[in-house]
Amino acid sequence: QTGKNKLITYQPTPTPTRHLFASQIQMETDLRKAIMENQLLLYYQPRLELSTGQIICLEALVRWNHPTYGMIAPADFIPLAEESGLILPLGEWVLREACLQKARWLAENKLDYQVAVNISPCQFQDEAFADKAIHIIEQTGINPAYLEFEITESSIMQNMEKTIAVLDKLCAKGISISIDDFGIGYSSLNYLKEFPIHCLKIDRSFVKNIQSNSNDWAITNAIIHLGHALNIQVVAEGVEEVGQLDILKETTCTTIQGYLLSPPISAAEIELTFHREDNRPVMIS
């Protein structure tokens, strides 16, 4: 097997964690600097449509390339960013960079996929969120239809009235909305009928043991059929093994993300592996 048709076995590299920093204040100072001095970068993880074998979306996932400590994973600095308020400038940086990258790909006629951007509940609660986001997108000149915002159930549930106003504003511009980590939040299924939701991303904790745990299988299966009935796309997250993929296909899952297809990789690696002229179906099993 060669090129993108090969199975990628991915070993996450050990990442430095908070304890490398002398103090929380130091880390916060460094992070503020990182946002201003372009030490952040985006990796992208593809989402695959099983029926066609085509990539349909790339999820942007932020990394911090610290001058001393090297590459830091988001789990190690997003919580601090949220506590300190730095998530607002960080989130704006992420959205702008994702739009600029999409614009570059369009200009080079390279990749035709949607780009998904994660939105923290702290950002979503910001009064000016929708206007700021739309402004950034307009500044970069890309069609908002290329964008998907991944939000969590906790973002939605805090203030339903405000949420619907924000989501309507984003949808009116053509931005798609997906629910990330679906199934582990404070779920009320009510919002699925009230809000313009395009996609549910089944949390990978359900997918992990789908082969061995009948409850995980049942929940995953139910979410997939809920999606079909409501005409909402459903993505299984964290698919690592062919055995998991086989079961997901049996349960009529339509789209997947996970290390089995690809871990998050740099924009340059995405271009090499998933460029458009080479849009042969991706075979992963």
Q: Rule CB under 5 A: choose which of 34, 46, 101, 118 binds Mg ion.
A: 118
Q: Rule CB under 6 A: choose which of 31, 44, 118, 153 binds ligand C2E.
A: 118
CA–CA dist 16, 199 (Å, integer): 33
Stretch that binds ligand C2E, among 141-149, 166-174, 253-261, 274-282 (CB under 6 A): 253-261
CA–CA dist 146, 269 (Å, integer): 20
Residue 46 touching ligand C2E (CB under 6 A): no
Stretch that binds ligand C2E, among 67-75, 102-110, 165-173, 271-279 (CB under 6 A): 67-75
Residue 93 touching ligand C2E (CB under 6 A): no
Residue 227 touching ligand C2E (CB under 6 A): no
What one-letter code names the amino acid at 35? Answer: I
Task: Give CA separation, 147 vs 56, 118, 134, in Å.
Answer: 12, 11, 11
DSSP, res 9: P
What one-letter code names the amino acid at 81? Answer: A
Residue 148 touching Mg ion (CB under 5 A): no
Q: How far is the CB of 82 from Mg ion (least distance, A)?
A: 13
Which uninterrupted H or E stretch holds 152?
strand 147-152
Torsion angle of the four alpha carbons 100, 106, 111, 116, in this order, in degrees rounded to the nearest 10? 40
User: For the residues of 213-279, what is the DSSP string, one character each?
Assistant: -HHHHHHHHHHHHHHHHHT-EEEE----SHHHHHHHHHTT--EE-STTT---EEHHHHHHHH-GGG-
Residue 247 touching ligand C2E (CB under 6 A): no
Residue 258 touching ligand C2E (CB under 6 A): yes
Q: How many residues bind ligand C2E (CB under 6 A)?
A: 22
CA–CA dist 188, 236 (Å, integer): 20
Q: How far is the CB of 68 from Mg ion (least distance, A)?
A: 27
Residue 64 touching ligand C2E (CB under 6 A): no
Residue 126 touching ligand C2E (CB under 6 A): no
Q: Rule CB under 5 A: choose which of 60, 102, 181, 274 binds Mg ion.
A: 181
Residue 120 touching ligand C2E (CB under 6 A): yes
Q: How far is the CB of 45 from Mg ion (least distance, A)?
A: 9
Q: Rule CB under 6 A: choose which of 75, 128, 189, 268 binds ligand C2E.
A: 75
**Between 126 and 181, CB nearer to Mg ion:** 181
> Which tokens sit at 226?
């809920």
CA–CA dist 105, 51 (Å, integer): 25
> Which tokens sit at 192?
């699925």
Residues forming contacts to ligand C2E in the complex (CB under 6 A) are 45, 61-62, 73-75, 78, 91, 94, 118, 120, 150, 180-181, 204, 238-240, 257-259, 264
